[in-house]
Structure 1
């Protein structure tokens, strides 16, 4: 039974995206001084496409069929291949990364607030409006 018409599931997917983006930004910041490190980013559209194609499973109609499923570990993450920000080949722009981190934090907190609102609504209904 889907209580919110898929809203909680969509918010959960948004949180997954924000978490992967946050980890990617943190990795870029941590490698700020690493020579030849190329900055990484997360694309929501790439993550969505890969997530739709990630969990492919075969339907076994016979015991002799091979059971398989394909999974990817970090969908949507890609590197800037031709970006060279500094002389040592490093592609991390700290100002951009800090701005992205702040933007992603606001996005994540907004999703958390929306989920809390949905759950508070459910709690109010369960208690009978009191």
Structure 2
């Protein structure tokens, strides 16, 4: 595939992949909301996408930012979410927060799909000479 096609589609394709992986992680958090000792996980979309594109990552400047955990997702880090209110059984999943994050991620996933579709349509028009 020519590099100009890669350039036109690459960002949106990577964004879709990262958002898809994030949806899996958030769904896992919701599924384990009642599991004692389960630690809510997430990924920092901007950091993972920057790493995928070969850029630099952001650094935390506050104790309320995500904290490091295990690596995953092609060089990106899966991080543990710091709860607003800790539960007695050690579970850090806050159902309302997870549902809000899942919903926001779903909307952004759909936006990335729409952008990718628009880019493909634009390339098809250009290839046809219209």
**Partner of residue 63, structure 2:** none
**Partner of residue 118, structure 1:** 119
Aligned length: 111
TM norm structure 2:
0.71
Q: CA deviation at 1:76?
A: 2.1
**Partner of residue 31, structure 2:** 30
Q: Which has the larger radius of gyration?
A: 1
**Partner of residue 59, structure 1:** none
> Does the residue aligned with 2:23 lie in a helix, a strand or coil?
helix
Q: CA deviation at 1:126?
A: 2.7
> Does the residue aligned with 2:79 lie in a helix, a strand or coil?
strand
> Does the residue aligned with 1:100 lie in a helix, a strand or coil?
helix
* Cα RMSD after superposing both structures: 2.5
CA distance in 1 between partners of 2:35 and 2:91 (Å): 7
Cα pair distance change 1:36/1:124, threshold 3 Å? same
Q: CA deviation at 1:114?
A: 0.5
**Partner of residue 60, structure 2:** none
**Conservation of the 8 A alpha-carbon contact between 1:38 and 1:84:** no
Q: Which structure 1 residue ranges, 5 or more long, are not aligned? A: 53-71
**Conservation of the 8 A alpha-carbon contact between 1:38 and 1:92:** yes
Deviations 1:1-46 (A, max 9, x none): 2235723111122112211211110110010000011111111344
**Conservation of the 8 A alpha-carbon contact between 2:18 and 2:49:** no
**Partner of residue 44, structure 2:** 43
**Partner of residue 101, structure 1:** 102
